[in-house]
């Protein structure tokens, strides 16, 4: 996966939750397939466009983001802890893959946004005394995300209305490194493959006792008391012997032609 947007912010403790929620919703807005009108919220004096409340699944998206942000706060800032934390928004696509035993489906990530938050316990933000560092940091993160998504507009997988469920996203608190983020998913569907068509062999190489050459039969020998289990092995050996016979005959013909050509050259 080569499409990774890395965002890093240093924020006052009391502003981590609203800023993180707005930033994740902004990322989802850039990749939404919902045609509904967006809404605008204000965070740290900045206007942030997020998915509209009237779209399909809009309430579910806001609830999902709220739940993940609460999980993030509990992981890094509960009981007085103040640690740097990371959360990721991963966009995935379900793809079909043909294998030896059937057609399987796997989940493949095509874009990821990693957000790293560093807490600043000494800073505060209010309408009367805005924190300029946090405000400028949020602005830079929003512009970086918009530019990143716009540059990769053609990389977004297309989906018809019936294939919308093939595109999804995941919000992961404390994600693993990008290289280890997704292992191949287990098969979710299987269908039989088209039976393999046997290769057509030349007439001289067709398996069977009737077409075996005398020399190959002599080399194989005959044994009246051979076991039935050895028949398949003998057929395979016969096939190899027939192939050798054809190669020898081809080589002999090639040698004869070469000798004839050389003789004509000397004669002239």
Q: What residue spans define the domains of the chain?
A: 4-180, 203-267
Answer yes or no: is pLDDT of 175 > 80: yes
Q: What sign has the CA pseudo-torsion 33, 39, 40, 41? A: negative
pLDDT digits over 77-123, tens only?
988 888 999 999 999 988 887 778 788 888 888 999 999 999 987 76
Q: How many CB atoms lie within 10 A of CB 150?
A: 9
Q: To the nearest whole percent, how much of the chain has pLDDT over 70?
A: 59
- Residues contacting residue 166 through CB under 8 Å, at least 6 positions apart: 93, 94, 157, 159
User: What pLDDT was estimated at residue 154?
Assistant: 87
H runs (alpha helix) in the chain: 16-30, 58-77, 132-151, 214-220, 231-267
Q: What is the rounded end-to-end Cα distance, in angstroms, of the chain?
A: 69
CA angle 178, 72, 47 (to 5 degrees): 90
CATH number of 4-180: 3.30.900
Q: To the nearest whole percent, how much of the chain has pLDDT over 90?
A: 33
- Per-residue pLDDT, averaged over 138-149, amounts to 95
SS3 47: strand
Burial 64-94 (b: 16+ CB within 10 A, else e): bbeebbeebbeebbeeeeeeebbbbbbbbbb
Answer yes or no: is pLDDT of 26 > 70: yes
**Cα distance between residue 146 and residue 7, in whole Å:** 12
Answer yes or no: is pLDDT of 206 > 80: no
**Cα distance between residue 213 and residue 27, in whole Å:** 73
> pTM (2 decimals)?
0.64
Q: Quote the distance between the C-alpha of residue 172 and its chain's center.
A: 18
């Amino acid at each position: 996966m080569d499409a990774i947007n890395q965002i890093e912010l240093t924020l006052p403790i009391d502003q981590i939750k609203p800023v993180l929620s707005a930033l994740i919703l902004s990322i989802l807005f850039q990749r939404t397939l919902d045609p509904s009108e967006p809404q605008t919220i204000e965070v740290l004096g900045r206007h942030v466009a997020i998915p509209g409340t009237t779209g399909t699944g809009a309430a579910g998206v806001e609830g999902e983001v709220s739940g993940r942000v609460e999980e993030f706060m509990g992981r890094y800032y509960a009981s007085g802890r103040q640690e740097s934390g990371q959360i990721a928004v991963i966009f995935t696509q379900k793809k079909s893959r043909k294998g030896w035993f059937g057609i399987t489906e796997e989940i493949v990530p095509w874009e990821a946004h990693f957000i790293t938050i560093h807490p600043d316990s000494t800073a505060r933000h209010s309408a009367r005394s805005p924190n300029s560092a946090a405000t400028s940091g949020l602005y830079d993160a929003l512009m970086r995300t918009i530019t990143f998504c716009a540059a990769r507009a053609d990389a977004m997988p297309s989906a018809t209305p019936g294939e919308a469920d093939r595109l999804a996203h995941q919000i992961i608190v404390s994600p693993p490194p990008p290289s280890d983020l997704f292992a191949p998913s287990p098969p979710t569907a299987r269908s039989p493959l088209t039976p393999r068509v046997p290769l057509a062999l030349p007439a001289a190489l067709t398996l069977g006792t009737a077409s075996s050459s005398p020399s190959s039969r002599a080399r194989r020998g005959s044994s009246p008391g051979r076991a039935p289990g050895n028949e398949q092995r003998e057929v395979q050996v016969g096939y190899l012997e027939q192939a050798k016979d054809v190669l020898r005959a081809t080589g002999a013909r090639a040698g004869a032609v070469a000798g004839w050509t050389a003789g004509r050259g000397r004669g002239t």
